[in-house]
Amino acid sequence: MNVKKNQLLLLSSGEYSDYHVMGLYRAVKGFDTVALGLDKHFRSKNYEWGYSDIPKYLVKQGYLVEADYSQWYLGDYHNTINTVLS
């Protein structure tokens, strides 16, 4: 994936009940996620790493900064439009 300078990037992981948003980030500089070689970097480490280590690494390396954001939960199949907007 090619990420452009100033592009917003929503990082998430998991699926179904384990799905979660890790954060919203802004690219400080453009980069190619494959060319960074993150798979080799993290597989070469002698410790257990998790997906949350990836954004921390990209921030530390100067590729991303965390963006200020708010989340507005619009509901699920149990909610009606009245409960979402009130």
> What residues contact residue 68 under an 8 Å CB cut-off, 6+ apart?
none
What is residue 49's predicted lDDT score, i.e. its pLDDT? 73
Q: How far apart are the C-alpha atoms of 55 and 28, rounded to whole Å?
A: 13
Q: How far apart are the C-alpha atoms of 63 and 72, rounded to whole Å?
A: 27
Strand 20-27 and strand 64-66: the pairing is antiparallel
Q: State the distance between the two ends of the chain, measured CA to CA, in whole angstroms.
A: 39
What is the pTM (predicted TM-score) of this model?
Answer: 0.77
What is residue 72's predicted lDDT score, i.e. its pLDDT? 81
**Which among 19, 4, 86, 12 has a CA at the least distance from the CA of 54?**
12
pLDDT band, residue 56 (cuts 50/70/90): very high
